[in-house]
Each structure stands twice: as structure tokens, then as C-alpha cells.
Chains A and B, each alone.
With several copies, the nearest count.
Chain A
């Protein structure tokens, strides 16, 4: 089903950790349409600023849930939504993870809020009998929200915190590197983490799909505000003339947000 504007209603709002919100929404058509790795643009009630890009964290029955950090005025406004409030969501948007192969052994690396993009692919892979190992890192224990849902979904969960307050001390990529290579790597998190994942993928020759983030303008491909350099030969490169170095700028919102590590030229 094509993306469209969904007029939805908030069912519940919960602060899962200081500054980390989970908003549960009644949105049957959206829930039915979503593909793992897709996102929505959540429209602000005040109408004074651009909509906010948020991963579709979970989707089941007629429910969709969003999991987000309060990082600025727009997410603060979304965090003020209460049960019963209406909320317009544009979506589902973007190309999700390519899960056609579903190899036997998949590793997923999630850093911080990146966790919001990987529940749906994890669940889909488990359903299709992949072994799924989740490597989940955050600054400290309190921010490791939602690990139970992954256990319930059938993932093997390894935790890492920068301050050592839970799981391994260090970056989630340290944990990933210390483990046996999988057949496929999925990752979502801050850019430095994704760069590290891409290096691990290259070194271990495991294909990696990275879910990127950037500050979005439109979220639908209309403004070219969210690009990332890719090889002009990549299937996701816009069919535009590339520069002398063979680089094109692809839109994260339209050609992504998921890219193969090897096509990126960042």
C-alpha cells in the first residue's frame, strides 16, 4: 500500500527512561503497510516546524509504536502528546532492509536510538528462522530501554554501555567485533558507530546494511536536504551525472534510509 497521510490517535505515552519516550498509536492502515526499516514523518500539532522523521519501532494488529529521544524542541512537542490526542503520520516512507535472503545467522548492531529501527527486521528474521544476535549499546544502563521486547522476539541480546553500568564496557561495535562473524549485518545508530560497523563488515567480508540518519527537510525526496555520497555505480545512486570521482549524492529519505555499506562513499 502506498504511503499517505494517516490521521491517527495516540493510545498511550510512556517515558521509558529520562528523555526517552514511547508513543503507542492506533493506526491500522499504517500498521498493515509497514516494511521493516521504514519510517514516518510525524507532524507537529503546532504546525510551526517541519515534521519529525521517526522509525516505525513496532507494528502489530492496528497498533504502531514510536520510540524516540527528546533532543530538541520538536521531539519535546511530540513528547507532550497525551492519550486521546490526534497525530498525523506520513508514511510508511523509505526503503527498508533487504531481507529477501534471510541468512541463517544475522547480527544486528544498534546504538542508542538506533534501536527503534531494528525491532521489525529482527522479528521478521526470527520468523523466517534466522538466528538473530542483537548487539545493543548505549551510554549507560538506564538508556538500554526495550531489551525485553527483543528477547521476547527471539533474539540473543548482548549489551554494552560506555560507562560499564551494564553489559560490556565500551562501544557496541567492540562487542560486535569480539563475537563470531555473522552472514549478514544490520545496523542503526549514530554515524561514527555506523562507520565502525562498515569497517568491521569490510574486514570480515560480511555484507552490511546500514540504516542512516540525517536532519530531514521533507522526508519524501523533494528537497535534497538529506544526501549521502554513494558510488555512482550503486543501484541507489540517483540517475544524475556523477562527479569526476564517480560519486553521486543519494537522498537518505528516498533512496535509503538503508544502504549497503560498500556503496557508501562517506
Chain B
């Protein structure tokens, strides 16, 4: 049996660049509003950080409805970055964040390097913002349908530029929709990222067979939830072997056991998104569970288990399991 004191003594804090989080749990961007929406159901003092909904330079109305489709053990979303734009955001929204009892991480999206830089700089200037996450997995108008995070040169460019725009911790959020995530991960690291968020949603779509048309107003969307967890665990496992900066693992985490998979794969912290829609008590349960689990193992801090199951790959011949 693990005593409550033992569990309380476990150090769950984690460092992302210069920022120290009391808990290694971050609420995924776009899933947790600005925290206010969930404050009635969850104790924000017991989470590490809220990553705000991504903000762009100009206001965006977002995609037409429907924006959400439920799928087996997951969901598709295509919100389309609905947000009031950085001017309005700084004027009317950001002040409310001051009283949050956890770290606040601003998420920046854009359609050009210039936009990323402007929004990063203006957001990071504000004392309410503890760190910046670059959502580089969003549309890049310059090259049809591609995203920054799908192209290593573009990633490098936008991360370098954002790096120059702020000294606050900089997290780069990677897309799983790439042939080799380690290439992008290394680019982001050498361009100055303090941490990587792995992964954003997986591209997917669903069709309404009665009406013979795509279900989402935007046709394609991003898949999240437990369905993508095996994809996310592998992405973290690979990225952790490729870079030295901390990784924030996310994708389908809904329980203590799920969270442990990510830490053992090499994540220093975890993101929780869709599971908040399943039950807003999940983040607190995970934090309690982690403390108890670590105490039970005689560990003193979460860092002791990070990467412990990351034993590399068998050999090149057998690397691709999907060779089946």
C-alpha cells in the first residue's frame, strides 16, 4: 500500500525551458477554452498548464458546421481556428487570465512566417502568458494543403523567426501527418525550440452515407482521442530518440495507464485534450494516479520514469510493423 504522504512527497513538477510546471499535465490547445469554461468542473490549481485556443493575427470565423463527428474511440474536428484575432484578444480577453492558478501557454497559428512572428511577439510580451506554443500544423496558404510542420525547411524558418521574437519558453507542436517526424523534430530543435508538443490531430474524414456527402463542413478534419493513442505513443518514442529537448506527449490520453505510456516512451509532460470531453475529472485523476504510482515504485519524481521503456528498435528489417 502507498500512503497518502508518500504520494504527496513525489515531485511531479516539470521544466519546459525556463518555465516550471507544478504538474506535468497540459490541457490541449482548442480543447479547454481559456480554462474558465472548465473551472466549474475541474480544479485548475491541480493541473500544470492550460494551452489556450490558437490565436491568429486577424479574426477568424472558422469553418462551417458541422465541426465535430464522433468516430470509433475518437472524434474528428474541423473548427478552423475560430478566434477573435490578436488585437481583440489582447484588448478584451487576455486580462481575464491573470487569476488562473496554473501556467498559461499561448498558442499561435498563422499563414505566413510574418504572422507567426507578430502574434508570438505581442502575446509573449504579456505577463499573463508564461510560454508560447507554435501551432505549425495549420494551413500554409503558400503551398496548397501543406502545413509548416509537414515541411522541414518551413518548420525551421518559422521556429527561428518566432525564437527571435521572444525569450519565453517556445514549444513547437508537431503534426503526425508526415513521413518521418524525427526530421521535423530535429529541425525544430535546432531552430531554437525549448520543447516539442507531439502530436496534433491525425488527418481524417467521415462521410454521411445517407446524404452521400462529407460529414464535416470542412470535408477533412483532425482525428483525436483514444483511437490515435498508438500513433501518438510511437511519434513520442521516435521524437524522444531524435532530440534532447523535452517532449509534451499527447493524443488519446484518458487514464493513468495511458499517461504512463507516454512518460515511459520519453515524454516529460503530457497533453490532455479530448478526454476532457469524456470526463473533466480526468486530468486530476491522472495527477493523483501518477503520484501514487510513483510512490508505489519508490520513485521520488516523475523524471525518473521518463523514457524508461524507450529501448530503441529491433533492427532495420523488422522496423516497420505494418509490413505485417
Cβ 8 A contact of B68, one of A3, A4, A217, A241 = A217
Per-residue interface assignment for chain A, residues 41 to 74, with 1 indicating a CB less than 8 Å from any chain B CB and 0 otherwise: 1011001111100000000000000000000111
Residue ID in chain B nearest A227 by CB atoms: B65
Decide: B92 and A239 in contact? CB cutoff 8 A.
Answer: yes
**Contact for B65 among A4, A5, A74, A228, CB less than 8 A:** A228
Which among B66, B84, B279 is the interface contact of A241 at CB below 8 angstroms? B84
B interface residue numbers (CB < 8 A to A): 30-33, 37-38, 40-41, 53, 59, 61-62, 65-70, 72-75, 77, 79, 82-85, 88, 92, 225-226, 254-255, 274, 276-281
- Within the complex, the shortest CB–CB distance from A259 to chain B, in Å, comes to 14
Q: Is A218 a contact of B276 with CB atoms below 8 Å?
A: yes
Q: Which of B59, B66, B75, B83 contacts A50 (CB under 8 A)?
A: B75
10 closest residue pairs by CB, A with B? A222-B33, A50-B277, A222-B37, A225-B68, A240-B84, A221-B37, A241-B59, A48-B73, A218-B277, A215-B68
Tell me the complex Cα distance, A226–B137, Å. 22
Please state if B37 and A50 are interface contacts (CB–CB under 8 Å): no
Contact of A122 with B by CB under 8 A: no
Contact A50 B278 (CB under 8 A): yes
Using an 8 Å CB-CB cutoff, how does the interface string of A225-248 with B read, 1 for contact, 0 for none?
111100000000001110100011
11 example contacts (A-B, Cβ-Cβ < 8 A) are as follows A3-B40, A47-B255, A48-B226, A49-B225, A90-B41, A214-B65, A215-B70, A218-B37, A222-B32, A223-B68, A227-B82
Mask, A146-175, CB within 8 Å of B = 1, is 000000000000000000000000000000
Does A2 sit within 8 A of B, measured CB to CB? yes
| Residue of A with least CB distance to B88 | A241
Q: Tell me which residues across on chain A come within 8 A of B279, comparing CB atoms.
A: 5, 43, 47, 51, 88
**B320: min CB distance to chain A, Å:** 16
B301 to chain A, nearest CB (A): 28
Q: How far is the CA of A72 from the CA of B226 in the complex (A)?
A: 14
Given A50-B278, A90-B41, CB of A215 within 8 Å of CB of B69 = yes
| Interface pair A43/B278, CB less than 8 Å apart | yes
With A227-B82, A240-B84 as known contacts, state yes or no: A216 contacts B68, CB within 8 Å: yes
Contact A217 to B65, CB < 8 A, known contacts A51-B278, A254-B37: no
Q: Is the interface of A mostly helix, strand, loop or mixed?
A: loop
* Interface flag for A106 (CB, 8 Å): no
Interface residues of A (CB under 8 A from B): 2-5, 41, 43-44, 47-51, 72-74, 88, 90, 214-228, 239-241, 243, 247-249, 254
B69 to chain A: closest residue by CB:
A215
**B62 proximity list for chain A (CB < 8 A):** 224, 227, 249
Residue B79 contacts which of A51, A72, A223, A240 (CB distance < 8 angstroms)?
A223
Q: Are B53 and A224 in contact (CB under 8 A)?
A: yes
**B contact residues around A5 at 8 Å (CB):** 41, 279-281
| Bound Cα distance A73, B255 (Å) | 13
Q: Which of B70, B79, B82 contacts A49 (CB 8 A)?
A: B70
> A221-B33, A241-B84 known; A50 and B226 CB under 8 Å?
no
Q: Which of B61, B85, B225 has the most CB of A within 10 A?
A: B61
Do A240 and B69 touch across chains, with their CB atoms under 8 A apart?
no
Determine if B66 and A217 form an interchain contact, defined as CB atoms under 8 angstroms apart. Answer: no
Cα–Cα, bound, A220→B27 (Å): 15
Contact A48–B277 (Cβ < 8 Å): no
Identify 15 new A-B residue pairs, CB closer than 8 A, beyond the known A44-B278, A217-B67, A225-B77: A3-B40, A4-B41, A5-B279, A48-B226, A49-B73, A50-B277, A214-B65, A215-B67, A217-B68, A218-B277, A224-B53, A224-B67, A226-B67, A249-B61, A254-B37
State the CA gap A225–B53 with chains docked (Å).
Answer: 12
Cα A247 to Cα B62 in complex, Å, equals 12
Q: Output the least CB separation between B25 and chain A (Å).
A: 16
Cβ of B224 to closest chain A Cβ, rounded Å:
10
Bound together, the chains give a CA A44 to CA B225 distance in angstroms of 14
Q: Are A73 and B85 in contact (CB under 8 A)?
A: no
Q: Please, which residue of chain B has its CB at the minimum distance from the CB of A73? A: B72
Question: Could you tell me the distance in whole angstroms from the C-beta of B318 to the nearest C-beta in chain A?
Answer: 14
Asked whether, in the complex, the Cβ of A227 is within 8 Å of the Cβ of B67, the reply is: yes
B38 partner residues in chain A, CB cutoff 8 A: 220, 222
A241 and B70: CB pair below 8 A?
no
Docked Cα-Cα span, A5 to B285, in Å, equals 14
State in angstroms the CA–CA spacing of A72 and B33 once bound together.
27
Nearest residue, chain A, Cβ from B53: A224
CA–CA, A72 to B208, complex, Å? 13
Residues of B near A240 (CB, < 8 A) are 59, 83-84, 88
Residues of chain A within 8 A (CB-CB) of B66 are 214-215
Known: A223-B33, A223-B277, A228-B65. A72 touches B70 (CB 8 A): yes
- Closest CB in chain B relative to A191 CB, distance in Å: 10
Which residue from chain A places its CB closest to the CB of B89 in the assembled complex?
A240
Q: Could you tell me the distance between the alpha carbons of A241 and B60 in the complex, rounded to whole angstroms? A: 9
Write the chain A residue with the least CB distance to B84: A240
Cβ-closest chain B residue relative to A7: B281
- Expressed in whole angstroms, the Cα–Cα distance for A4 and B39 within the complex equals 10
Assuming the contacts A5-B280, A223-B30, A226-B67, asked whether A50 and B274 have C-beta atoms less than 8 A apart, the reply is yes
Q: Which residues of chain A are near B277, meaning CB under 8 Å?
A: 41, 50-51, 217-219, 223
Residue in A72, A222, A227 whose beta carbon sits within 8 Å of that of B276 in the complex: A222
Provide the residues of chain A in CB contact with B37, threshold 8 Å: 218, 220-222, 254
Cα–Cα, bound, A47→B277 (Å): 10
